[in-house]
Amino acid sequence: MVRMLPRDPVGFLRSEYEQLVSNELDWKLRILQGPSSPRCIVDGKKVIMLCSNNYLGLSNHPKLKKAAIQAVKTHGAGSGSVRPIAGNMDLHMTLERKLAEFKEAEASLVYQTGFAANSGLIPQLADAGDLIVSDELNHGSIIDGVRLSKAERAVYKHCDAEDLARVIQKAEERSPAYQRILVITDGVFSMDGDIAPLDEIARIAHDHGAMVYVDDAHGEGVLGKGGRGIVSHFMLKRDQVQVEMGTFSKAFGVVGGHVSGSRDLINFAYNKSRTWLLSGSHPPAVVAACIAAIEVLETEPEHVKNLWSNTDYFRKGIQNLGFDTGASQTPIIPVMIGDSGVAKKFSARLFEQGIFALPIVFPMVAKDRARIRTIMNAALTKYDLDEALLAFEKIGKELGLI
């Protein structure tokens, strides 16, 4: 009898990793040595930061840092539990009240992360016999949330309200009819920096009795009155966009996901989302910094103003150099390159020149749509931006792109 060698149960770990490395699809982690600020140190090199989501520069704001330190003194380093058991501190309640006021919603709920909000809530909002209709370029955390649901799924063309209407109309022909239809879209899309036509989406959803869920991770702190986000930007009402999801990890400068809407939504969400119910709550320092971030947005409008002034300046500058910035309408400004290899080389040369901006390549975007994704920040000066534009010009010419 031939004795078979036992199979190596973990051999795939190395082989799959090596496959990623040989295809240059592995993540090479850079190390930020110090705070995330417009000029910072990455891998020992002084660089201008053009790829952080810290849109308003709040991650290093003195009021946020002070609030975090103070909360450690008064409430300790950790919360000790999940919120439904013993980890629901007065600070968590204050944050949710403040956030609801800021969002002009009846109520808000804070999750540990935006990813936990999407993956915990979406599967509860639509179940067997329901339909989820999702933009084809929605974020991975939405995709995972949708996969966790027993509902059927349909995808509509990116930012295409007409296609959404077509998909919903077709869905309505089904017998038996879907009990619920949930339409989900990012507010601002993180690869292209374009804005979802939320007003049209809300109108179509309303016509068909569907619910609207917007992930505004990249719209809050950026769009709308005082950075209140996409719902405010389109001046929509709560009964038009029933679920407004966001994150404290980007413009707010800290970490944590959140959902705002009706009191009914919030009562439902915290009783049903397993990511919320079964995961330890935020430590006091995080919660206090998030509260301070909302207060800064309410009292220091200059950050949002500066962000837009930098955005307009840099986008025009890049376009004047002869680059294409795609569909960007926001502080996410892709500089289109085309070929993945050239985009990687471009980013490496930028780093040598002291500019930190990452390439976005296949499979994150189509093979011929590789780009350098730049992200504006309110704290960058015109001097920083001019230096960055000079580097783009130099390398663009070097690589024969402009």
Are residues 244 and 229 in contact, defined by beta-carbon separation less than 8 angstroms?
yes
Nearer to ligand PMP, 216 or 384 (CB): 216
The candidate with the shortest Cα–Cα distance to 164, out of 209, 196, 134, is 134
Distance of alpha carbon 266 from alpha carbon 91, whole angstroms: 18
Options 16-24, 32-40, 107-115, 385-393: segment touching ligand PMP (CB under 6 A): 107-115
From the candidates 61, 92, 103, 250, give the one annotated as an active-site residue.
Answer: 250
Long-range contacts of 35-38 (CB under 8 A, 24+ apart): 35/59, 35/60, 36/60, 37/379, 38/377, 38/379, 38/380, 38/381, 38/384
Residue 374 binds ligand PMP (CB under 6 A): no
- Applying CB under 6 A, does 270 fall inside the site for ligand PMP? no
Work out how close the CB of 229 gets to ligand PMP at its nearest, in angstroms, rounded to a whole number: 12
Q: How far is CA 60 from the centre of its chain?
A: 19
Please work out, in degrees rounded to the nearest 5, the angle formed at the alpha carbon of residue 152 by the alpha carbons of 147 and 154: 90
- Among 152-160, 205-213, 214-222, 351-359, which window interacts with ligand PMP (CB under 6 A)? 214-222
Residues whose CB is less than 8 angstroms from the CB of residue 96 and which lie 6 or more positions away in sequence, other chains included:
107, 108, 109, 110
Told to judge if 190 belongs to the known catalytic residues of this protein, a careful annotator would answer: yes
Tell me the closest approach of the beta carbon of residue 21 to ligand PMP, in angstroms. 24
Distance CA 111, CA 90 (A): 16
Instruction: Find the shortest distance in angstroms from Cβ 110 to ligand PMP.
Output: 11
Cβ at position 341, least distance to ligand PMP in Å: 25
Q: Where are the beta strands (DSSP E) in 21-81?
A: 39-42, 45-49
User: Which of residues 96, 135, 186, 220 is near ligand PMP by CB under 6 A?
Assistant: 186
List 59, 79, 185, 247, residue binding ligand PMP (CB under 6 A): 247
Structure tokens, 216: 């505004």
Q: Which is nearer to ligand PMP, 55 or 323 (CB)?
A: 55
Residue 61 three-state SS:
coil
139 versus 369: smaller Cβ distance to ligand PMP: 139
Cβ–Cβ under 8 Å, residues 401 and 342? yes
Using the rule CB under 6 A, is 257 a contact of ligand PMP?
yes
In the bound state with ligand PMP, the residue whose beta carbon lies nearer, of 187 and 317, is 187
Window of 25-33, 215-223, 289-297, 366-374 that interacts with ligand PMP by CB under 6 A: 215-223
Q: Which residue in the list 59, 190, 249, 347 is annotated as catalytic? A: 190
Kindly determine how many residues on this chain lie close enough to bind ligand PMP according to the rule CB under 6 A. 14
218 is an active site residue: yes
DSSP 8-state class, residue 33: -
CB of 290 to ligand PMP, least distance (A): 11
Closer to ligand PMP by CB, 247 or 330: give it. 247
Give min distance, CB of 44 to ligand PMP, in A: 26
The answer to whether residue 185 forms part of the interface with ligand PMP (CB under 6 A) is no
Considering the rule CB under 6 A, would residue 139 count as an interface residue with ligand PMP? Answer: yes
From its phi and psi, is residue 111 left (phi > 0), alpha (psi between -120 and 50) or beta?
beta
Nearer to ligand PMP, 205 or 217 (CB): 217
Only segment of 4-12, 198-206, 213-221, 330-338 that touches ligand PMP (CB under 6 A): 213-221
Burial 228-259 (b: 16+ CB within 10 A, else e): bbbbbbbebebebbbbbbbbbbbbbbbbbbbb
| Nearer residue to ligand PMP within complex by CB, 116 or 389 | 116
> Nearest to ligand PMP by Cβ — which residue?
114
Alpha carbons within 13 angstroms on the beta-carbon side of residue 127 total 3
Q: Is position 141 an interface residue for ligand PMP (rule: CB under 6 A)?
A: yes
What's the min distance (Å) between Cβ of 96 and ligand PMP?
Answer: 16
Interaction of residue 113 with ligand PMP, rule CB under 6 A: yes
Q: Does residue 108 touch ligand PMP according to CB under 6 A?
A: no
257, 111 in Cβ contact below 8 A?
Answer: yes
Burial class of residue 5 (count of CB atoms within 10 Å of its CB; 0-12, 13-18, 19+)? exposed
DSSP 276-333: HHTSBPPPHHHHHHHHHHHHHHHH-THHHHHHHHHHHHHHHHHHHTT---TT--SSEE
Catalytic residue numbers, as ranges: 190, 218, 250
Give the binding site for ligand PMP (CB under 6 A).
113-115, 118, 139, 141, 186, 190, 215, 217-218, 247, 249, 257
